[in-house]
Amino acid sequence: MPAHDKYHAVVARALEKDGWVIEAEQVRLRVGQRRFWIDLQARKPSGEAAILVEIKGFENTPSPIDYFYSVVGQYLVYRVILNEKGPKIDLYLAVPTQASQQLLSEEIGQLVLQELHIKVLIFDPEREEVVQWID
């Protein structure tokens, strides 16, 4: 199992504050011999459909655009696997407010998120709260 992201516990607490129950951490997907891990699975207590959350920090990277390429590729691979093999479940990319105010709010970030229908959960790492859901 891979190591937890820097914001793993922060996002889990933010989801709980937002009324979600964390059902699983490090959710495993398998395709052939390859294993993939999505950070969190959460569900509303009312029994609504669950969500999966992949957490990315977007800080301390020498090239934010290269990191963005990697993050978008990872998200799309996970979504393809879920569409093919997994349960029908929404996948969200969780990013801190700083990332949403930088690259993701730039024209290229907005174009990619919209064109590829990437769902985003923006969280405040200081307050450990969900700031916005983008579907």
Note the CATH architecture for domain 8-134: 3-Layer(aba) Sandwich (3.40)
Give the CA count within 13 Å in the CB-facing half-sphere of 109. Answer: 18
> Would you state the structure tokens that stand for residue 34, as one six-digit string?
């390859």
Q: Are 24 and 38 in contact (CB under 8 A)?
A: no
Checking if the pLDDT of 80 tops 90, the result is yes
Model's pTM, two decimal places? 0.93
What are the backbone angles phi and psi of residue 133, rounded to the nearest 5°?
A: -110, 130
Rounded to a whole number of angstroms, the CA Rg of the chain reads 14
Give the confidence band of 19 by pLDDT, cuts at 50, 70, 90: very high
Domain boundaries, the chain: 8-134
Average pLDDT for 83-96:
89
Give the confidence band of 6 by pLDDT, cuts at 50, 70, 90: confident
Checking if the pLDDT of 4 tops 80, the result is no
Structure confidence by residue, pLDDT tens digits, 43-56: 998 877 799 999 99
Of 22, 57, 15, nearest in space to 41 by CA: 22
